Amino acid sequence: MLDITKDIQSLTTFRRRSGDFMKQLKKSKRPVVLTVKGKAEAIVQDAGAYQRLLDIAARADGREGIRQGLEESRQGRGRDAEEFFAEFEASHGIQR
């Protein structure tokens, strides 16, 4: 969760105290929102926390693909695997 008293800072402050911010990022695992003229412009995050975010997104993509496939199957869309592979092999000149 974002702590607005610690996790939203100006870019100028971040530049001046980057070492302190790096320690905070590693300890808290929370991103820091950097502002320019009072508007959010960038997010800085610990590399490990960012990797975890990427991993979560990849799993969500996989689950969503499975969910869509199951839904299409329930709706009767799709076709038999043997039919698909026969057409695929024929269109690509693959001999069995």
* Extents of the domains making up the chain: 8-44, 49-75
Query: Is the pLDDT confidence value at 3 over 80?
Result: no
- Taking residues 9-37, report their average pLDDT: 94
Residue 78 confidence (pLDDT): 84
The residue that leads in pLDDT, 2 or 88, is 88
Share of residues in the chain with pLDDT > 90 (%): 61
**Which amino acid does the sequence have at 2?**
L
Residue 78 or residue 96, greater confidence = 78
Specify which residues 32 forms β-bridges with: 44
Strands 32-36 and 39-44, how do they pair? antiparallel
Closest by Cα among 39, 50, 14, 15 to 6: 14
CA distance 74 to 29: 41
Alpha-carbon gap, residue 28 to 7, rounded angstroms:
10
